[in-house]
Chain A
Amino acid sequence: QKEVEQNSGPLSVPEGAIASLNCTYSDRGSQSFFWYRQYSGKSPELIMFIYSNGDKEDGRFTAQLNKASQYVSLLIRDSQPSDSATYLCAVVNAGGTSYGKLTFGQGTILTVHP
Chain B
Amino acid sequence: DAGITQSPRHKVTETGTPVTLRCHQTENHRYMYWYRQDPGHGLRLIHYSYGVKDTDKGEVSDGYSVSRSKTEDFLLTLESATSSQTSVYFCAISVGTSGRLATQYFGPGTRLTVL
Residues of chain A at the chain B interface (Cβ within 8 Å) = 31-32, 34, 42-46, 49, 51, 88, 90, 92, 94, 98-107
Binding site for A on B (CB under 8 A): 31, 33, 40-45, 48, 50, 56, 58, 90, 94, 96-109
Asked if residues B98 and A31 are in contact (CB atoms below 8 Å), the reply is yes
Q: Is the CB of A34 within 8 A of B50?
A: no
For B59, the closest partner residue in chain A by CB is A103
Contact B109 A99 (CB under 8 A): no
- B96, A100: Cβ atoms under 8 Å? yes
Q: Which of B58, B96, B106, B107 has the most CB of A within 10 A?
A: B106
Chain A nearest CB: distance from B24 CB in Å? 15
Other-chain contact of B102, A42, A44, A100, A104 (Cβ < 8 Å) = A100
